[in-house]
Structure 1
Amino acid sequence: MLALCLRTVAASAPAVPSRLLKPGSLKKVVFRYLAHQDSLPKLPVPPLRQTCERYLAVLEPLVSAEELEHTRRLVAEFTMSGGVGERLQKGLERRARKMDNWLSDWWLQTAYLEFRMPVVVYSSPGVVLPRAEFHDRQGQMRYAAKLIAGVLDFKTMIDNETLPVEFLGGKPLCMNQYYQILSSCRIPGLKRDAVVNHAHGKAPSTHITVVHNYQFFVLDVYNSDGTPLTVDQIYMQLEKIWNSSLQTNKEPIGILTSQHRNTWGKAYANLIKDKTNKESVRTIQKSIFTVCLDAPMPRASDEMYRRRVAVQMLHGGGSRWNSGNRWFDKTLQFIVGEDGSCGLIYEHAPAEGPPIMSLVDHVVKYTKKSEVVRAPMIPLPMPQKLRFNITPEIKKDIEKAKQNMNILVQDLDIKVIVFLHFGKNVPKSYKMSPDAFIQVALQLAYFRMYHVCCSTYESASLRMFRLGRTDTIRSTSMDSLRFVQAMDDPTRTVGWLQHPRRNISWHFELRGLKGQAIDRHLLGLKLQAIEDLTSMPEIFMDTSYAVALHYNLSTSQVSAKTDCVMCFGPAVPDGYGICYNPMEKHINFSVSAFNSCAETNATKLAQGLEEALLDMRDLLQQTPKARL
């Protein structure tokens, strides 16, 4: 049972690591990107009855028998011949024929741009990188210079369209997200945001923004002949910025971007009424990316250090520390602390985790390269400092943002653990998916805490389709419920746990990858009803639908070659945000929860996860591999 359960819990689809070309071998292949994109299949619209049957199966372990029976009646009515479901399905199929991807625009709008909670914690993931080996300002500047040069090196492949195409299972993946993460930024609105990208216009961006002591600077990163600045040149420019930003009593204008989106939208409209402010904001938005040179955070033990860096990447630590040293709307912000803490935070609208992690892997590898002999330095102009005119009204908005950020900082509980007992090696030795193994362990840990199972979200890649983003893998099933119940049931034997084939839903992984999962299809049917201006079908007003979408466990595997971990906040007030990076002999985890919820505890769940992993390994070891 364990072996089958582990093999059948759906795994997300981490991008296959690219084999990156050396900069010297880069030659632009005309229309390569477009030709590749056009060759990809379109995202299919799954059959209506198939989705509805799988929806009912998802609900079975989550709702009562009475609720399930009520939902069955609603589904039967929805799918009846000539009914509303068929009409909405036909509308989706027409949309799919007309568009490159029937889902992508809707998903961008509903999941991100219409989402009104702050992007901080609620949307934007942070990435904790290994601690760098420096402990002073010069080391900070040198590392930041290498990091910037590494991103520019990666950007060369994007600009020349020579970025190696990624494959999964022998099939090419959509590379569009790579072309959206640089020179892009989110722009707040009063009811809906927008995303702008300045990488592909007539005058693409040639500068980055650097922020230190809450002050923003423009750093041109290309010479007049179009070549990128060397590490030494960037280092000298960063030194100028640091020396010009010693004054720390500046207003932290960047903290405005941490607000609720409607609040920030109003403050933004007021901020850019001033011409100087508008020009400064536009310069930040157009920059290739942002580098945040952070002040050192409080000292901590090794265990507390991991947590401290996680919160530094996610929100900056509050208004006393580095939360004002950000522009959270910027798609990519690399963070380098004076104490060696390093990482990044990215605004989620343009891309998922795998393209970000491919960039991270490249940049980290680049920072480890030995430095070349220094060439004679050509004097460069002083980086431009961006000016802001702070009116009393803007000052009031900043103070409100500080208060709200500090409340959020106090509310977020996050635990970062390095599970050292084993990594991918153990499940792989039993021919099991490491991701599936971890997902079952999460189910077991949660069940032991709450004695029920819950709606669980794991992102599944749709990048094998043109402009594909994600769908939802649902790890909770009747089979996973039976397994976690049996693990601690003394009347059950090991043999029962490993009983062959108890209708394990092992196709769930394949459904997610092949565009046959249920969540985005149901969302499409709901949005089609809204677009058609028809009354909302009852299945979307049903309590069961709300339960299915209330993800107490919001999880993601984001793999990287770099020994790092991504972290993000919970999806619901009484839930957990869990991300993991399985390395060969250890696993990096982040677990988050809100302190304001008395029922959740990130430390307790993290401990329970470690215990579950060990118990499952012990169970495997009790049975010869031949029987699995």
Structure 2
Amino acid sequence: MLGICTRTVVKVGMVRPIGLVKSCHLVKPVSATLVTGRYLTQQEGLPRQPLPTLQQTCERYVTTLEAIVEGDELKRAKQLVEDFQKPGGVGERLQESLEKKASNTENWNLFCSGTLPVECVRGIPLCMKQYYQVLSSCRIPGPERDSLVFYSKTDPKYITVAHNCEFFVLDVYNSDGTQLTTDQLCVQLDRICKASPQPSTDPVGILTTQYRKTWDKAYINLMNDETNRESVSAIQRSIFTLCLDRAMPQVSDESSDITGTKQMVHGGGSQCNSGNRWFDKSLQLIVGEDGSCGGNALHVAADGTVIRVFGDAVAACLKDPEMMRSAMEPSPTDMKETESLPMPQKLHFSITPEIKKDIEEAKQNMDILAQDVDLRIQVFDHFGKDVPKAYKLSPDAFIQMAMQLGYYRMYQRCGTVFEANSMRMFRGGRIDGICATSSASAAFVKGFDDPTKQVTEKMDLLGKSIKAHNALTKMAMSGHSIDGHMMTLKDLAVEENITIPEIFKDTSFDKAFDYNVFTSQVTLENESLPVTNLDDPNGYCVCYSVKSNYIGFVVTAINSCKETSATQLIQSIENALLDMRTLLEQSQV
């Protein structure tokens, strides 16, 4: 989705243990006790993200090019790399400038005290800063760039609730500072539903689905009115937004899981629930009349690994029998306590003819975008991570090679594949990318279906490709990914008014970083699946969850792109996984 750019995590659970958002696979939280102040102490001890050397990045960049560029184009690209990194050249100048920035900032790759269990990977503590960016935060449109504003220091005590495209302020704390009980929340939500029985004819929330520059102009119009400013500010400052959705119409050729997933991603269009959102909120929890539930989160505020923890926490509450019993069977005492609660405050908007025109335009664009989403879900239940582990192979690398093989079989060329990698082992770390396409993976996908190659040869190619992927993963985890480094050097040239070096203008640079497939693994404890909106209309997003005996996939593409097909790619990946398992079995004969 070009206009929304969100991540969604959802549990529909109508067919299989499936759901609907996104993350990366490298961070596995371990159990930890809740220690007051530990978050801040741990945070100060985290190292800064290292800055790779120019030579190291250039060498690995050439290795990437060798997998996707050939002939004279590769020869020219190599020469441009040599020119770029020569002593006294522009590359060395940019690197020195970046080193100065790195010495004065917490994290060169990024242009309150609290109480949380500290997450770790293999005993190494992770940056917890993002948890304090998800709640009470909101994206604000701007003429050139958006801003992300955090309101947690004002300590808001309320959430906003959207129902039938109307917005309400719901205090979630009593006057004595205690949280509302489950029964009290149920009563208040029921009051909200009764106060908004019909869909609003002017769904202001749908403006947040617009392309960012268009939304910025509409935002200026909206904020000219004092009533509108107060209502928008209330939404922006709230802890999060709870969206109570109408039932989604069932499409004849679409499974309920896919329909539910689209509900979480974009709301289903202007006639469904797309106006029952404020997509600039960092976190929206969504509940449908049919029981479908999930969330929609901004990547700009936090990465999928953090959103995963929120998703698992919500799912755990839903499984708490005591909490659910209380919601369905409130006691007389509880009912009496709820009667004194103040009515949730409805937020009002002054709709001028100009704003009404903006809303109608947003409806039309949203409907086009919603119809253009090509989304498919597949539970691959033939095997899970146990099979590659039995052969001492990395499950993630094995799946990554299957995705590359599936893509190669469809297009007869190697795709450039991005795999999300968490940098939370460093202070302020976010996401960097693993350029998963390598010379070794290219040799594997080209040789796998070669009838002249023996099983031993193919196993050797598979082993080398997985070894190469593991090395790339290790490099990225240690803060030495080429993606972020090269892109930052390019941006720095613009910032310092330096003539853009030829290396960045060459077609090979676009091929290296204009990824065909964006991939991300996240495995939620509650068995929901991740979904990521697609920014590139000519590519794919593949999110996957890996369990012992199955692998869940969600693939998104764009219907209007005739070169892509989520259905075909997901089937091709499944066939590749089965064929690779057969290869493993044949190697033991």
Q: TM (normalized to structure 1)?
A: 0.85
What is the one-letter code of the residue matched to 2:527?
D
C-alpha change, 1:342 and 1:317, in structure 2 (3 Å) is: same
Measure the CA separation in 2 of the matches of 1:416 and 1:13: 19
C-alpha change, 1:300 and 1:418, in structure 2 (3 Å) is: farther
Where 1:459 maps in the other structure, the secondary structure is strand
Q: What does the per-residue CA deviation read over 1:209-249, in whole Å, with 9 as the maximum and x for residues that have no partner?
A: 10010000000001112111111110110000000010224
Contact 1:457 1:475 in 2 (8 A): yes
Deviation at 1:301, TM superposition (A): 7.7
Deviation at 1:491, TM superposition (A): 0.9
Q: What does the per-residue CA deviation read over 1:283-324, in whole Å, with 9 as the maximum and x for residues that have no partner?
A: 000000011111001236897111111111111111111111
Measure the CA separation in 1 of the matches of 2:386 and 2:202: 50
Corresponding residue number in structure 2 for 1:441: 402
What is the one-letter code of the residue matched to 2:577?
L
What is the one-letter code of the residue matched to 1:227?
T
Corresponding residue number in structure 2 for 1:471: 432
Deviation at 1:599, TM superposition (A): 1.0
Q: What does the per-residue CA deviation read over 1:4-43, in whole Å, with 9 as the maximum and x for residues that have no partner?
A: xxxxxxx95432234365xxxx6633xx333211101111
C-alpha change, 1:40 and 1:573, in structure 2 (3 Å) is: same
Measure the CA separation in 2 of the matches of 1:102 and 1:259: 31
Measure the CA separation in 1 of the matches of 2:435 and 2:491: 21
Corresponding residue number in structure 2 for 1:405: 366
Measure the CA separation in 2 of the matches of 1:518 and 1:611: 31
1:256 pairs with 2:207: yes
Corresponding residue number in structure 2 for 1:189: 142
1:169 pairs with 2:122: yes
Corresponding residue number in structure 2 for 1:19: 31
Q: What does the per-residue CA deviation read over 1:248-291, in whole Å, with 9 as the maximum and x for residues that have no partner?
A: 24311100000000000000001010000000000000000011
Pick which of 342-351 and 496-505 moved more.
496-505
- For residue 239 of structure 1, the aligned residue among 186, 190, 200 is 190
C-alpha change, 1:392 and 1:301, in structure 2 (3 Å) is: closer
1:547 pairs with 2:511: yes
Measure the CA separation in 2 of the matches of 1:83 and 1:494: 48
1:422 pairs with 2:373: no
- For residue 234 of structure 2, the aligned residue among 262, 273, 283 is 283
Contact 1:472 1:512 in 2 (8 A): yes
Measure the CA separation in 2 of the matches of 1:225 and 1:27: 25
Where 2:67 maps in the other structure, the secondary structure is coil
Measure the CA separation in 1 of the matches of 2:35 and 2:48: 29
Q: What does the per-residue CA deviation read over 1:576-606, in whole Å, with 9 as the maximum and x for residues that have no partner?
A: 1110111222111111111111111111111
Measure the CA separation in 2 of the matches of 1:397 and 1:12: 37
Deviation at 1:78, TM superposition (A): 0.8
Where 1:498 maps in the other structure, the secondary structure is helix
Q: What does the per-residue CA deviation read over 1:309-362, in whole Å, with 9 as the maximum and x for residues that have no partner?
A: 111111111111111110000000111100111111111111110010011111
Corresponding residue number in structure 2 for 1:128: none
Measure the CA separation in 2 of the matches of 1:502 and 1:513: 20
Deviation at 1:498, TM superposition (A): 1.6
Contact 1:310 1:416 in 2 (8 A): no
1:63 pairs with 2:69: yes
What is the one-letter code of the residue matched to 2:161?
V
Q: How does 1:560-571 map to 2 (within 5 A)?
A: 560-571=524-535
Alignment root-mean-square deviation, CA:
1.8
What is the one-letter code of the residue matched to 2:146?
D
What is the one-letter code of the residue matched to 2:482?
I
Where 1:428 maps in the other structure, the secondary structure is helix
Q: How does 1:263-278 map to 2 (within 5 A)?
A: 263-278=214-229
Contact 1:12 1:509 in 2 (8 A): no
Corresponding residue number in structure 2 for 1:510: 474
Number of residue-to-residue matches in the alignment: 554
Contact 1:62 1:547 in 2 (8 A): yes
What is the one-letter code of the residue matched to 1:45?
L
C-alpha change, 1:160 and 1:57, in structure 2 (3 Å) is: closer
Corresponding residue number in structure 1 for 2:47: 41
Q: What does the per-residue CA deviation read over 1:401-435, in whole Å, with 9 as the maximum and x for residues that have no partner?
A: 01101111111110011111122222222222221
What is the one-letter code of the residue matched to 2:475?
R
Q: What does the per-residue CA deviation read over 1:106-155, in whole Å, with 9 as the maximum and x for residues that have no partner?
A: 2xxxxxxxxxxxxxxxxxxxxxxxxxxxxxxxxxxxxxxxxxxxxxxxxx
Measure the CA separation in 2 of the matches of 1:36 and 1:569: 33
1:312 pairs with 2:263: yes
Corresponding residue number in structure 2 for 1:334: 285
1:593 pairs with 2:544: no
Contact 1:333 1:344 in 2 (8 A): yes
Unaligned runs of 5+ in 2: 1-22
Where 1:61 maps in the other structure, the secondary structure is helix
Q: TM (normalized to structure 2)?
A: 0.91
Pick which of 37-46 and 561-570 moved more.
561-570
1:489 pairs with 2:450: yes
- For residue 302 of structure 2, the aligned residue among 351, 355, 370 is 351
Contact 1:12 1:435 in 2 (8 A): no
Pick which of 383-392 and 363-372 moved more.
363-372
1:453 pairs with 2:414: yes
What is the one-letter code of the residue matched to 1:329?
D
C-alpha change, 1:231 and 1:301, in structure 2 (3 Å) is: farther
Measure the CA separation in 2 of the matches of 1:425 and 1:259: 44
Deviation at 1:190, TM superposition (A): 1.4
Q: What does the per-residue CA deviation read over 1:27-85, in whole Å, with 9 as the maximum and x for residues that have no partner?
A: 633xx333211101111110111100100110112122211111111111111111111
Measure the CA separation in 1 of the matches of 2:182 and 2:253: 31
Measure the CA separation in 2 of the matches of 1:409 and 1:248: 19
Corresponding residue number in structure 2 for 1:100: 106
What is the one-letter code of the residue matched to 1:512?
A
Deviation at 1:499, TM superposition (A): 2.4
Where 1:473 maps in the other structure, the secondary structure is strand
Measure the CA separation in 2 of the matches of 1:472 and 1:327: 29
Corresponding residue number in structure 2 for 1:53: 59
Deviation at 1:569, TM superposition (A): 3.0
Deviation at 1:523, TM superposition (A): 1.5
Measure the CA separation in 2 of the matches of 1:45 and 1:447: 33
Contact 2:161 2:241 in 1 (8 A): yes
Corresponding residue number in structure 2 for 1:151: none
1:538 pairs with 2:491: no
Contact 2:459 2:584 in 1 (8 A): no
Measure the CA separation in 1 of the matches of 2:472 and 2:292: 39
Measure the CA separation in 1 of the matches of 2:248 and 2:551: 26
Corresponding residue number in structure 2 for 1:321: 272
Contact 1:551 1:571 in 2 (8 A): no
Where 1:507 maps in the other structure, the secondary structure is helix
Contact 1:483 1:497 in 2 (8 A): yes
Corresponding residue number in structure 1 for 2:13: none
Corresponding residue number in structure 1 for 2:16: none
Contact 2:379 2:552 in 1 (8 A): yes
Corresponding residue number in structure 1 for 2:488: 524
Measure the CA separation in 1 of the matches of 2:195 and 2:166: 9
Measure the CA separation in 2 of the matches of 1:589 and 1:13: 14
Measure the CA separation in 2 of the matches of 1:573 and 1:97: 38
Contact 1:15 1:354 in 2 (8 A): yes
Deviation at 1:171, TM superposition (A): 1.1
Q: How does 1:201-240 map to 2 (within 5 A)?
A: 201=153, 203-240=154-191
1:80 pairs with 2:44: no
Measure the CA separation in 1 of the matches of 2:475 and 2:58: 14
What is the one-letter code of the residue matched to 1:442?
M
